[in-house]
Amino acid sequence: MESGAQSEVPAPGASDGAEASGLVLRAVKRRPLRAGDVQFYRLCEDLTEPLIYFMVVVGPWAFGTTQSWSIWLMNGTGYLLGLLLAGKLAIRWAKGYEPPRWGEGWGGEGRSPKVEGRRLEGGGRGRGRVGAARLTAILAGLTVAILGYCLVSAINARATANLADGTFTYHDASIRWLPHSFDSNRTWLAFWTYLGLAFSFWAVRDWLLGKTDDETRAAYRKPQQGGGRSGLLLPGRLRRLLWVLAINGGLLGLEGIVQRLEGSGTLLFLVKPRVNPGADTQFGPYAYRANASQYFNLLWPVCLGFWWTLNRSMGFRRNAYHLILACCVIMAACPIISTSRAGALVTVGIVVLAAFFLAATHFLLTAHKQPDSRTRKITLACLLLFFAGALALGFGLGWKTLKPRMVQLSEGFDTREAMYEKARPMATDFPLFGTGPGTFEPVFQLYLKSMDTYWPAQLHNDWLESRITFGWVGSGLIALAFVVVVLRWFTRGGIHGGRRFIILIWLALAGCLVHARYDFPFQIHSIVFLFLVLCAILVNLTRRP
C-alpha cells in the first residue's frame, strides 16, 4: 500500500494551474505511505485513549497530585502522550495519511478522507475555516512561547534558593534583559510540569478530533449529511471522555462525603496528612478542603451540560444517562459539604446562573424547542430536582459546620488582604519578567518583616502570584492563550457544540478563575489538568461546524 509519493491529483474544485502545481509539489515531497504506517497510527490512537483516562482518574485520587511522586507520575504520562502525538503527526504530515477526523471535510462528512485532506491543502475552498486554523496556530505558538519563557527563565536563573537556611546563591552569568528566575530548581520543576501539561493538552485535543469506526462507517453511508445533525449531538470519543469524568467525579464526591461523615481525618482512609490533619479541614483525597471544592466546581457544570446534551438527543427513551445527573447532584453538593466558604459561594453562584440560563432558554428560545411539550416539562422537572437536590444535600450535611465559618467571612478576607499587601511589592520590584515560575515561596521570605510572620507556600491569590512569578510578559502570554480558547467557539470548523453546553463549560472555567482570586487552584496539578482538558474540549467545539 503506497500513496502520497507521486500523486498528482489536484484538489477537487481547483480552478487554476498554480493551485494544482502547489498541491503536486507538496504531495511529491511526501514519503510513501505504507500499511505499517497506518497500523502504527492506529496503535498510537489506541494507546492515547487509556492514557488520557488514566490521567483523568488518577489525578484527583492521587491525593490531588500534590506530592512529588504523583506530579512526576502525571508528568511522565504527559510525556508519553506527547510521544504518541508526535508519532501521529509524523504519519499525517510526512506520509500524507489523512484519517477520518471531525471538521476536516468540505461539503460532506462522507467523502473520502483523502479527498477531505486535499481540499484543505488546496487553499481555494473552505474560507470559513481560516479563522479556526489561525486560532489553532496562534494557540500552538503561545504554547511554545510559554514553555520557552519558562525554559529561558530556568537556564538564565539569577540565583538558586536554599530554603533550609534561607540563603540564595547568585549567578553572575545571568542576562538581566531576558526572563530569569531567583530559584533555578523551582523554575526547572515548573518547566517540566508545564511541558507535561502542554503535551497532555494537545494530545487530548488531537485525539478528540478523530472519528470512531462507527462514525466513519456512518459517514460513508450518508455522504451528503453533516455529522453535527445526525444521531447523538456529540462525537463518540468526547462522550466517552465525559462519561469517565462524570463517573469518576461522582465516586470521588461519594468517597469524600463518607470520609467526612466518618470523621477520622485520614485521606482516603489511608494517610494522615501533616498539614490540615483535622477532618473538617480536608475533603476526600485533598488535604485542603478548598482545593476539593475547586475541583468539583470545575467539573459538575460540565457534566450537567453533558446530561442536557444527551437528553436533547435521546429524550427519555434511555435511562442509563440519567446516572450522570445523579453524579452531578453529588459533585455539586460536595463544595458545600466540604465547608469551604469560597466553594459554597461559587457553587451557589453557578447554580443560580445555570438554573436561570437553562430554564430561560428551555422556553424562550424557540428555534430548537422540542415539539413534545410533555418532554420539555419533564426535562425542566429534572433540572429543578437536580438543583434542589444538590442544595438540599449540600446544606443538609454541611451547613451546621459551614454556618459559623460564613459568619467569619469578612475576617477571612481581611487576613488574605493583609497577606496580599506584603506580596504586592514583589510585583512592583519585578514587573516585566517576575521572579521566575514557581519561585514565590523562596522569594517571599525577603519581604517578611520578621521570620515570625506567617510564611505561606502559596499566596492564596493565583492572579497576583502569577503576576509576581511570571511578570507582565509571562502572564500576558497565559491570558492571551485563554482568550484564544474562549474565542474558538465563534469560528467555523470542528465539532458542533450547543450554546447551553458551551456556556456551562464557560461557567465552570469562570468559577475556577473566581476561586483563583482568593486561593490557589492553579498550584494544584489535578485542578490545572482538568482545566486544560476542558480547554482542549473547547478548542474543538464550534457553533457552526
C-alpha cell at 207: 485525539
**Residue 356 burial by Cβ neighbours in a 10 Å radius (0-12, 13-18, 19+):** exposed
Residue whose grid cell is 464526591: 253
Q: What is the mean pLDDT of each run of 10 residues along the chain (545 residues)?
A: 41 39 46 90 96 98 96 98 97 92 53 37 43 91 98 95 86 91 96 98 97 85 50 85 97 96 93 90 95 98 94 72 94 97 96 89 56 71 91 95 92 89 94 96 86 80 97 97 95 88 96 96 97 97 84
The pLDDT value recorded for residue 290 is 96
The pLDDT value recorded for residue 361 is 76
The pLDDT value recorded for residue 457 is 87
Cβ neighbours, 10 Å, residue 134: 12
C-alpha cell at 289: 478542603
Distance CA 280, CA 127 (A): 56
Q: What is the 3-state secondary structure (H, E, C) of 24-79?
A: HHHHHCCCCCCHHHHHHHHHHHHHHHHHHHHHHHHHHHCCCCCCHHHHHHHHHHHH
The pLDDT value recorded for residue 132 is 84
- In contact, 291 and 64? CB cutoff 8 Å: yes
CA atoms in the 13 A half-sphere facing the CB of 446? 14
The pLDDT value recorded for residue 241 is 97
The pLDDT value recorded for residue 116 is 36
Which residues, other chains included, contact 528 with Cβ-Cβ below 8 Å and sequence gap of 6+? 197, 521, 522
- In contact, 505 and 302? CB cutoff 8 Å: yes
**Residue 258 burial by Cβ neighbours in a 10 Å radius (0-12, 13-18, 19+):** exposed
